[in-house]
Amino acid sequence: MKKGAKRGYFRDFLGVLKDSVMSLRTNIFVMALHDLLFYTCSFYLIVFWNYLARLLSANVQLNPGSFDPTNPTMVNGAVSSMQNFMIFLGVSLLILAVIIVFVYTFFKGMIWLNMLKRKPEYRFFKRFALLNCIWFFSVFLIILVLAIVLRVEFAAYVLVIAAALALHFGINITAQYAKTCEIKESFYQGLKKGLRLHLFILPYIIVLSGYALVLQIGRIFTPLGQAVNFTVFATLTLLYFAWTRIYIFKLVQSIK
């Protein structure tokens, strides 16, 4: 990078950082509330699914004292119960994933609309849901293939890198969609801008450093008890995520 280009990069970087801080007058508390509602709904959906899975699994547990492997009727019954349980797990996990994607679409969509000061529209949410389904399914397939083909000693490192890149590109694609509401354009521009990784190194360092500071601030409240400490930590985290979303959005939009 030439000297003039470096000077221009740092000038643009500082401009975006300043603009994002000045934009805190945007109602970040509403954005944080939508984030909280999304995580709360997702948590209770997972808890409910886990309850159903445990309830059904109790019916397929074998009692070693009464199970007779030489009894065809008993063996067939056990196999049938296990098959039904596995089908339930597969179908219910798929349904759970779809529901969480739609919950994600609604609450995250409301965050973007609030940030951009736009009114909710059916067209926005319909296309946003389709974009999320395409993106999350693609990421799932890529990570699944990597988990299958990679050697065990390398899998963990590669999967962490793949997850980080998926988050990076996902942020770019979503930020682009929030501006254009066009799926194809969002994927094209999001992936194109996301490939310019060198432009995101310094911003990500700033974001991670800021969050490290938030963690340190949260520790100040530790003597007040676990409940107070968790409440303060969660509040600071959600507010910081709200600012981070504004910052990354403005950063993505500044990249030509």
pLDDT in tens, 37-53: 999 999 999 999 888 88
Q: Are residues 189 and 204 in the same domain?
A: no
Q: Are residues 33 and 105 in the same domain?
A: yes
Enclosing domain of residue 247: 196-256
pLDDT of res. 37: 94
- Single pTM value for the model: 0.81
pLDDT of res. 189: 92
Q: Are residues 32 and 113 in the same domain?
A: yes
Q: Are residues 205 and 134 in the same domain?
A: no
HEC string of 80-92 equals: HHHHHHHHHHHHH
CA dist 162 and 155 (Å) reads 10
Average pLDDT, rounded, for the chain:
82
Q: Are residues 95 and 34 in the same domain?
A: yes
Q: Are residues 189 and 200 in the same domain?
A: no
Least confident of 35-39, 62-66, 198-202: 62-66
Angle (CA) 172 24 166, round 5°: 20
168: left (phi over 0), alpha (psi -120 to 50) or beta: alpha
Within-domain flag for 253: yes
Of 171, 195, 219, which residue constitutes the final position of a domain? Answer: 195
Q: Are residues 131 and 100 in the same domain?
A: no
% of the chain exceeding 70 in pLDDT: 80
Within-domain flag for 174: yes
Q: What is the mean pLDDT of residues 207-212?
A: 90
Within-domain flag for 14: no
Of 97, 100, 121, 247, nearest in space to 175 by CA = 247
% of the chain exceeding 90 in pLDDT: 30
Q: Are residues 46 and 82 in the same domain?
A: yes
Of 163, 180, 195, which residue constitutes the final position of a domain? Answer: 195
Hey, how many other C-beta atoms are within 10 angstroms of the C-beta on 161? 11
Of 177, 195, 213, which residue constitutes the final position of a domain? Answer: 195
* Selected residue with higher pLDDT from 46 and 218: 46
Distance from the first to the final alpha carbon of the chain = 17
Position 129 pLDDT exceeds 80: yes
Within-domain flag for 3: no
Q: Spell out the alpha helix ranges (H) of 150-225.
A: 152-180, 183-194, 201-219
Q: Are residues 151 and 203 in the same domain?
A: no
Q: Are residues 185 and 200 in the same domain?
A: no
CA 80 to chain centre: 36
Q: Are residues 133 and 177 in the same domain?
A: yes
Length of the chain: 256
CA dist 99 and 114 (Å) reads 23
Of 243, 235, 233, nearest in space to 207 by CA = 243
105, 124 Cβ separation under 8 angstroms: no
113, 103 Cβ separation under 8 angstroms: no
pLDDT of res. 187: 94
Confidence band of 170 (pLDDT split at 50, 70, 90): very high
Q: How many folded domains does the chain comprise?
A: 3
Within-domain flag for 1: no
Q: What is the mean pLDDT of residues 130-155?
A: 85
Range 213-216, long-range pairs (CB < 8 A, 24+ positions)? 214/240
Within-domain flag for 190: yes
Within-domain flag for 10: no
